[in-house]
Amino acid sequence: MTLEFKGIHHVSALTAKGQENYDFYTKVLGLRLIKKTVNQDDPSVYHLFYGDEKGNPGTELTFFEIPRAGRFHAGTNSISATSLRVPNDEALQYWRERFDTMQVEHEEIRERAGRSTLAFQDHEGQRLILVSDEHNQGVPGGTVWDKSPVPAAYGIIGLGPVQLTVQHAQATIDVLTDIMGFRVAGQYASSVAGQPDIVVLETGQGGTGAEVHVEERADLPAERPGRGSVHHVAFRVDNEEELRQWIGRISEARLPNSGFVDRFYFRSLYFREPNGILFELATDGPGFDTDEDIHHLGESLALPPFLEDRREQIEAVLKPIDTKVE
C-alpha cells in the first residue's frame, strides 16, 4: 500500500493572551472555537482549537497560550506563514473591506502560486494569508459554522498552503519528497528581490489544502520564537494503522521522533526535518465530539481522561476565557 498524506491536518501557533486570541479568531475571522483544552505536555496553559463547524481535519488552527511569551523575531528555520482558504476571489474583496473596517493590518490582494491571496497579521503579528479557492481542484474545504459572524459565502473553509522559510531548502525538500511522499508541483517568484524561487510541494489530492511552500533565505538569521510564531504543522493520516506504518518509515529514515502519541482527539507522531521545523503526523479521528456534544464544542474546559483527575488544580491556574457566543 502506498502511504500518502491526505493534506494538512492542523497548524499550532503561540499566543500570550487567550482572551484576545479568542476574540480575534472568532469575532474577526469568524472561526468556531471547537475545543478549549490544555497543552497535554504542560497542563498549566491553554490549548485552543479553532476550525469549521465541527473542527474537520484540515480546518484546525490551534494556539498554545504562553502568558509570558516574548515577541517573536522572524527568520529562517520557521513556519513563516499560514494560509486560510476562502471560497473565491470575491471573498477576498469582502475581507479587505472587513480588515479596513476592523483595523486589521493587511497587504494588498496579489497572486501567489497562481492564486489570488491577501496577507494580513493578527494583533500579535501572526503571519496569515487568505487564499482563494476559486480554481481549486484538490482537497475539499470544510463548512463554515452557521453561527459565524462572517457570511458563509465569504467564510474561511480551512487551512491553505503552509510556508516554510529555511536556510537550506534542498534538505527540507528531500525529506518531503523522498520520505514523506510529497511531489514538486511548481515554483513562483519570491517577493524579495534576488532570492530563489519558492518551491511548491503537494500531497494527496493536492490543491490549496495539501501544499507546503518552501522558501530559501540564506540572508536571514534563525527565527526566535515567541508570541505570534508557529510551533508546528501537522499532516493528515487516515487512521491509526497508517500512522504506525509512518512511524516505521520515519524511524527507518533515522529521523529522531516521538513514537506513537495518543492525543485523545487524534493519534500523533512528531519529528523535526533537517532545518529544525517540527512536523506532526495526525490521524483524522476520533474527533472533537468524542467528549462534547457537537452543538456545544468549546463552551467549557475539556480534558482528556488521563488529566481529568487533576481538573481542580488545572482550572485553578488558568485565567478564565469568556467564550459566550453573542
Q: With beta carbons less than 8 A apart as the criterion, state whether 70 and 227 touch.
A: yes
pLDDT tens per residue across span 18-55 = 999 999 999 999 999 999 999 999 999 999 999 999 99
Q: 8-317, what's its fold?
A: 2,3-Dihydroxybiphenyl 1,2-Dioxygenase; domain 1 (3.10.180)
Prediction pTM value: 0.97
Which residues, 6+ apart, have CB-to-CB distance to 144 below 8 Å? 30, 52, 53, 150, 152, 155, 156, 157
* Domain locations along the chain: 8-317
CA dist., res. 24 & res. 315, Å (int): 23
Locate 231 and state its grid cell.
Answer: 510551533
Residue 156: which of 31, 26, 27, 23 has the closest Cα? Answer: 31
CA dist., res. 120 & res. 103, Å (int): 11
- Burial classification of residue 231, based on how many CB atoms lie within 10 Å of its CB (0-12 exposed, 13-18 middle, 19 or more buried): middle
Looking at residues 223-236, what average pLDDT do you find? 98
Is residue 79's pLDDT more than 80?
yes
CA dist., res. 273 & res. 175, Å (int): 7
Q: What is the pLDDT of residue 149?
A: 97
Q: What is the pLDDT of residue 323?
A: 87
- Quickly tell me which residue has 480575534 as its cell: 24
Looking at residues 135-140, what average pLDDT do you find? 92
pLDDT tens per residue across span 140-168 = 999 999 999 999 999 999 999 999 999 99
Strand intervals (E) in 139-293: 158-166, 183-188, 198-202, 211-216, 230-237, 261-262, 266-272, 278-286
Q: What is the pLDDT of residue 325?
A: 67
CA dist., res. 50 & res. 35, Å (int): 7
Is residue 326's pLDDT more than 90?
no
Q: What is the pLDDT of residue 324?
A: 76
The 8 Å CB, 24+ separation contacts for 179-184 are 179/249, 179/250, 179/253, 179/255, 180/5, 180/235, 181/2, 181/3, 181/4, 181/5, 182/5, 182/212
Is residue 238's pLDDT more than 90?
yes
Average pLDDT score, the chain: 97
CA dist., res. 131 & res. 116, Å (int): 6
Is residue 317's pLDDT more than 70?
yes
- Through-space distance between the first and last CA atoms of the chain, rounded to whole angstroms: 48
pLDDT tens per residue across span 88-128 = 999 999 999 999 999 999 999 999 999 999 999 999 999 99
pLDDT band, very low/low/confident/very high, at 69 (cuts 50, 70, 90): very high
Residue 109's CB is within 10 A of a number of other CB atoms, namely 16
pLDDT tens per residue across span 272-281 = 999 999 999 9
Q: What is the pLDDT of residue 2?
A: 84
CA dist., res. 322 & res. 14, Å (int): 19
Sheet containing strand 32-39, edge to edge, reads 32-39, 42-51, 60-65, 8-15, 230-237, 278-286, 266-272, 261-262
